[in-house]
Homo-oligomer: A and B are copies of this chain.
Amino acid sequence: MISVVGHTAIDHISRVPDLPKKNGSTSITDRKIYFGGGAANIAAGIATLGSACTLVSAVGGDFSGSDYDREMQRLGIVQQFFVMPEANTPTAFMFTDQAGDQITFFEWGASEAFTRSEAPALDFVHMATADPSFNRQVAEKSRFASFDPGQDLHLYLPEDLAAIIGHIDILFANQHEAAMMAQMLDTTREEIAARVPLTIFTCGGEGSSLFIKGEETKIPAVPVTLVDPTGAGDAYRAGFLSAFDRGYDPLTCCKVGTVTASFIVEKTGCQTNLPDWERMTVRYSEHFGALKGA
Of B28, B106, B108, which is within 8 A of A25 by CB? Answer: B106
Contact A102 B27 (CB under 8 A): no
A31 nearest CB neighbor, chain B only = B107
**Chain A contact residues, CB within 8 Å of chain B:** 14, 16, 19-28, 31, 33, 62, 88, 91, 93, 95, 101-109
The answer for the CA separation of A106 and B20 in the assembled complex, in Å, is 11
Q: A19-B22, A31-B88 are in contact. Are A105 and B95 (CB under 8 A)?
A: yes
Q: A19-B22, A22-B19, A93-B93 are in contact. Are A28 and B106 (CB under 8 A)?
A: yes
Contact A20 B107 (CB under 8 A): no
Contacts of A16 in B (CB 8 A): 105
The answer for the CA separation of A23 and B99 in the assembled complex, in Å, is 11
Copies of this protein in the complex:
2
Q: List 30 A-B contacts (CB under 8 A).
A: A14-B107, A16-B105, A19-B22, A20-B103, A22-B101, A22-B102, A22-B103, A23-B101, A23-B102, A23-B103, A24-B103, A24-B104, A25-B103, A25-B104, A25-B105, A26-B104, A26-B105, A27-B105, A27-B106, A27-B107, A27-B108, A28-B93, A28-B105, A28-B106, A28-B107, A28-B108, A31-B88, A31-B107, A33-B62, A95-B105
Contact B101 A20 (CB under 8 A): no
A22 nearest CB neighbor, chain B only = B101
Interface centre among A88, A102, A105 (most CB of B within 10 A): A105
A19 nearest CB neighbor, chain B only = B22
Contacts of A33 in B (CB 8 A): 62
A245 to chain B minimum Cβ distance, whole angstroms, is: 35
Contacts of A14 in B (CB 8 A): 105, 107
The answer for the CA separation of A105 and B105 in the assembled complex, in Å, is 13
Contacts of A27 in B (CB 8 A): 105-108
The answer for the CA separation of A93 and B26 in the assembled complex, in Å, is 10
A272 to chain B minimum Cβ distance, whole angstroms, is: 16
The answer for the CA separation of A28 and B16 in the assembled complex, in Å, is 20
Contacts of A20 in B (CB 8 A): 103-105
A108 to chain B minimum Cβ distance, whole angstroms, is: 7
- 14 A-B pairs besides A26-B105, A28-B107 with CB distance below 8 A are A16-B105, A20-B103, A20-B105, A22-B101, A23-B101, A24-B103, A24-B104, A25-B103, A25-B105, A27-B105, A27-B107, A28-B91, A28-B93, A31-B107
The answer for the CA separation of A62 and B10 in the assembled complex, in Å, is 15
Interface centre among A24, A27, A31 (most CB of B within 10 A): A31
A62 to chain B minimum Cβ distance, whole angstroms, is: 8
Contacts of A102 in B (CB 8 A): 22-23
A25 nearest CB neighbor, chain B only = B104
A97 nearest CB neighbor, chain B only = B22
A21 to chain B minimum Cβ distance, whole angstroms, is: 8
